[in-house]
Structure 1
């Protein structure tokens, strides 16, 4: 696909999540990070990385809530729009299988193939080096922030604890 996939993704993100405050700041900075990282890919893969960066948190849009897990909700939406590969990338970014297990959503996540590729790892890198208000952070700072924001009783904490080594390998 050509540049049109990144333009489409940008339009979707603006329409669906630009009103979400810090979430939108985070997404915009992940996109900027992806713009820089995409230089190591060919044009087509670079465009996919840009599109995935715009859409990685699209499942936070209130109107897309289905499963109650933003990665799956975003993937369901992208599949319905005919963007299967983007659905795969969104569904599995940041080692979502661990949180899906804690949420009892493993079968829902399994409906989306997991792509093992440099592009999937690049998306993790861009997301996990961008803070919640869009600031550049180290991977360690990002994990510390996530753990402190959610607190010990939230399932996000054991999810990231289990996924730490895998996410760290991407970053």
Structure 2
């Protein structure tokens, strides 16, 4: 027996509305990105496709998460630049244009954008948009964190490395990417857990999750090596470097010579004692020593 006519009409209208919303989001992203920033457009298309797949498998409303996926990078469009930080510039456009608050907030906070906003002095602007932890946010973060600049699928660890290499290690974007990598990996893990129907790991902060297991093992390695040969150093002298290595290890990246050099030059510059010596064997041994704590903490498998 079929549905009554008025029910069929209501259901059809709802699906038409949903299709229009997603289509409108795609059209807006295409308008701002396709010609001006074709690589960003390729990336956005792939992120939206991944988000749509996850949303369908999880029964999430595409009017929220898929729309946000299409629009997450629209703030890169040059005419929209206001703060110069694309999550906020994109969210501002969407808020002015009357898009739903859920979409606006997801775009503003996508991929742990609040961390970079604080470092850019835009924390107060970011706080105008409430964060929305949950399945939709995880899907958006996971989709973005596993999609390369040309739309290729990557692991979270590969994506972190790609960003660091593309922006250079000393760039603010690279620095923030290293710090938020554990949060992105956790978003991917929680999405996978929800799809599998099992228990879902709680959302925790960067400090609670990324460093609590590895930092106590990494920091003593750096202090014992004292690569800069500092006669008397503060207790937290090597903590920023230890945090960076902890983040990379936590998302499954294997520490090698190139990453040791990248992290070290970010904090100490190209004339640091460690890298100025060009002692490949020493760098290899330090990389091996930094990788060792993974076997102790058991926390470096990709999500």
Q: Which residue of 1 aligns with 2:141?
A: 124
CA contact 1:52–1:90 (8 Å) conserved in 2: yes
Answer with 154-163 or 23-32: which moved more: 154-163
Higher relative contact order (CA 8 A, sep 6+): 1
Q: Which residue of 2 aligns with 1:54?
A: 70
Aligned equivalents of 1:58, 1:50: Cα separation in 2: 14
Please say if 1:162 is aligned against 2:179: yes
SS at match of 2:89: helix
CA contact 1:75–1:87 (8 Å) conserved in 2: yes
Could you tell me how far 1:79 is from its partner in structure 2?
0.5
Q: Which residue of 2 aligns with 1:13?
A: 29
CA contact 1:38–1:47 (8 Å) conserved in 2: no
Answer with 125-134 or 148-157: which moved more: 148-157
Misfit runs of 4+, over 4 Å: none
The structure number with the bigger radius of gyration is 2
1:148 aligned residue (162, 165, 184) = 165
Q: Which runs of 5+ in 2 are unaligned?
A: 1-16, 189-303
Q: Which residue of 1 aligns with 2:92?
A: 76
CA contact 2:148–2:154 (8 Å) conserved in 1: yes
When the two chains are superposed, the root-mean-square deviation of aligned CA atoms in Å is 1.3
Q: Which residue of 1 aligns with 2:114?
A: 97
- 1:103-123, Cα deviation, whole Å (9 max, x unpaired): 111011111110111011000
User: TM-score scaled to structure 1, two decimals?
Assistant: 0.94
Could you tell me how far 1:67 is from its partner in structure 2?
0.5
Q: Which runs of 5+ in 1 are unaligned?
A: none
User: TM-score scaled to structure 2, two decimals?
Assistant: 0.54
Number of residue pairs aligned between Structure 1 and Structure 2: 170
